[in-house]
């Protein structure tokens, strides 16, 4: 009980003493804060997935729950959208994120990559690296390491001043991420560690891997603390027995304790019972084990940022924009039954610690149904928004200098064409047109790479390929280029002579709308009036498959197959008075109405 009191006292004091410099270290089997044993009670929350106006609210809920630390990845592809051009502003202001956490009495653990996984496009690695045909991602390829080093120096320039010994709240930094699930190249791992050191980081480093001998052997370094990742289906004692055998005499920590799971399009929404999660946290606290709840607050993968997976039976599994994860807070940051249960568990183990009151301060609004009266046709949009080039052969999106969005491939047949078109390969979802008429669709997730065609001389084939998110996990992910990646065959012979149109759809300002009900309409525009702003969710159940922009902000993807049936619209992207909305729907069924409410909608 005396040790419990000391720990509680240290944690309580940390809330009020952040104006002073502290020390954090690893000594034997303990994390040490100011020379005293310290149990890390962390929750994962990613700044790009949560609107900045809500960061403080989420941090206060973490503190009220009994957490003392926030853990976040750092997203290379967002911070360096083009080579050498860096962005740490607005929703990407990691310095502001760290400082607000510190103001709320929370330490910060950073996971800067370069690879982060997290169901994020290309695992957070910039897609522009794939413009180099033979580059080897996540290896000691000097081209990859040089780019990674430049990025890491930019991260260090901003965050090293916020390390704990400098008066900030950053206590640890992760080297790479779950590398043991990918490879075992120690030279590469040491190069990533050196990149962190060269960037100026001096806080303790750690690696994070699955709790198996193979993953620990592949993903760790002898002079870096290993922590392990597992979830509600795996008893903690067995996992830590594996870690103890691998490296005894170190602090025990679960770097990602899975409170839920993520969703792929076409699946059921994942939920996890509260009891096994609460029981595991109760047990670990009783054993003095540190943890990081993944996710404490999942939030939303806005824009094109949701990634994808694959399996031995399914070639491609795109992730939803919704990253609720059945976390401790829901996708809109509201407390859940899981939150309350875990708060009770933590309070039981730290009876002398002060737990602030829990407050749900976020304002939510409803928007009555309104109609999107204006529209624009697909091929009008291609003409207005596209950048075209001629090429003998098809080429992937990355070779066009494009990272996200769509590519249209256009070919005029010089002779009658009857038979099988085979794509090597279309990534990821294609709408096929003949003379502007939709004649078919191909879904990579269903393994669809061929199409039967009957065309006449002079007919025009157009294939609109959507990038549904790059793979973010597994040994295949470094090669996941988008568009038509190699070639197109007709009855086994190469189809030559293409017009290729780049369509990132990142700026719709040049798109012209009309009141005409064109049968080829895919862009729909409307407006709605607000007397007050607040968070809400657009109800997309009457729509087909596409994307939504509100006041120019890209909310993410929707798709009738679910499970996600709504899109999160944060208050910071709304304004009093008139607001504009544009919906791109490639599989529209005729209903142009849309509404919004505080409810998150799931279903298939």
Query: Mind telling me the catalytic residues?
Result: 178, 256
Instruction: Specify the residue for token string 């967002």.
Output: 78
- For residue 184, the Cα-to-chain-centroid distance in whole angstroms is 25
Query: 3-class DSSP state for residue 465?
Result: strand
Report how far residue 352's alpha carbon sits from residue 347's, in angstroms, rounded to the nearest whole number: 9
Show the tokens assigned to 572. Answer: 């910071």
The total number of residues shown for the chain amounts to 604
Query: 3-class DSSP state for residue 100?
Result: helix
Helix 236-246 and helix 274-286, axial crossing angle in degrees, nearest 10: 40
Given the DSSP bridges, would you call strands 374-377 and 437-443 parallel, antiparallel or unpaired? unpaired
Report how far residue 65's alpha carbon sits from residue 102's, in angstroms, rounded to the nearest whole number: 16
Beta bridge partners of 108: 70, 170
Residues whose CB is less than 8 angstroms from the CB of residue 565 and which lie 6 or more positions away in sequence, other chains included? 539, 540, 541, 558, 601, 602, 603
What burial letters (b/e) apply to 259-274, b meaning 16+ CB within 10 Å?
bbbbbbbbeebeebeb
Q: Are 189 and 219 in contact (CB under 8 A)?
A: yes
Helix 337-349 and helix 55-65, axial crossing angle in degrees, nearest 10: 50
Element spanning 244, H or E: helix 236-246
């Amino acid at each position: 009980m005396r040790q419990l009191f000391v720990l509680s006292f240290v944690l309580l004091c940390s809330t009020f003493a952040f104006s002073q410099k502290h020390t954090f270290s690893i000594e034997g089997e303990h994390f040490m804060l100011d020379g005293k044993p310290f149990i890390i009670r962390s929750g994962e929350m990613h700044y790009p997935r949560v609107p900045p106006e809500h960061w403080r609210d989420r941090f206060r809920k973490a503190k009220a729950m009994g957490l003392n630390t926030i853990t976040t990845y750092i997203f290379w592809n967002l911070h360096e959208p083009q080579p050498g051009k860096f962005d740490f502003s607005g929703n990407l202001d990691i310095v502001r994120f760290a400082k607000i956490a510190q103001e709320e009495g929370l330490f910060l653990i950073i996971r800067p990559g370069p690879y982060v996984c997290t169901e994020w496009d290309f695992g957070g690695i910039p897609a522009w690296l794939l413009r180099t045909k033979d580059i080897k991602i996540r290896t000691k390829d000097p081209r990859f390491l040089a780019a990674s080093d430049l990025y890491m120096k930019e991260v260090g320039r901003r965050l090293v001043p916020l390390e704990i010994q400098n008066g900030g709240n950053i206590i640890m930094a992760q080297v790479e991420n779950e590398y043991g699930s990918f490879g075992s190249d120690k030279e590469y791992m040491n190069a990533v560690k050196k990149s962190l050191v060269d960037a100026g980081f001096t806080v303790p480093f750690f690696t994070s891997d699955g709790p198996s001998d193979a993953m620990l052997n592949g993903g760790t370094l002898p002079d870096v603390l290993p922590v392990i990742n597992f979830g509600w289906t795996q008893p903690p004692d067995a996992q830590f027995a594996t870690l103890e055998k691998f490296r005894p005499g170190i602090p025990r920590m679960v770097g990602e304790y899975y409170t839920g799971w993520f969703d792929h399009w076409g699946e059921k929404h994942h939920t996890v019972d509260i009891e096994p999660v609460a029981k595991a946290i109760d047990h670990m606290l009783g054993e003095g084990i540190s943890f990081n709840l993944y996710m404490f607050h999942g939030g939303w993968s806005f824009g094109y940022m949701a990634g994808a997976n694959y399996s031995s039976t399914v070639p491609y599994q795109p992730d939803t924009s919704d990253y609720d994860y059945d976390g401790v807070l829901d996708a809109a940051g509201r407390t859940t039954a899981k939150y309350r249960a875990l708060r009770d568990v933590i309070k039981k183990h730290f009876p002398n610690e002060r737990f602030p009151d829990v407050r749900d301060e976020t304002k939510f609004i409803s928007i009555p149904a309104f109609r999107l009266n204006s529209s624009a046709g697909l091929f009008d949009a291609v003409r207005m928004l596209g950048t075209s080039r001629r090429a003998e052969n098809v080429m992937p999106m990355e070779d066009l200098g494009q990272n996200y969005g769509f590519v249209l491939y256009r070919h005029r047949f010089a002779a009658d064409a009857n038979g099988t078109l085979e794509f090597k390969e279309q990534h990821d979802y294609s709408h096929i047109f003949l003379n502007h008429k939709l004649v078919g669709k191909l879904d990579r997730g269903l393994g669809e790479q061929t199409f039967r065609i009957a065309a006449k001389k002079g007919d025009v084939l157009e294939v609109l390929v959507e990038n549904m998110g790059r793979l973010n996990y597994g040994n295949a992910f470094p090669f996941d280029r988008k568009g038509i990646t190699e070639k197109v065959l007709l009855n086994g012979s190469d189809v030559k002579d293409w017009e290729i149109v780049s369509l990132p759809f990142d700026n719709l300002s040049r798109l012209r709308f009309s009141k005409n009900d064109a049968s080829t309409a895919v862009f729909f525009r409307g407006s709605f009036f607000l007397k007050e702003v607040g968070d809400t969710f657009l109800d997309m159940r009457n729509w087909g498959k596409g994307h939504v922009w509100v006041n120019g902000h890209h909310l993410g993807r929707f798709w009738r197959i679910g499970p996600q049936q709504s899109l999160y619209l944060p208050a910071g992207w709304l304004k009093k008075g008139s607001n504009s909305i544009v919906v791109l729907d490639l599989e529209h069924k005729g209903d142009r109405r849309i509404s919004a409410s505080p409810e998150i909608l799931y279903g298939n």
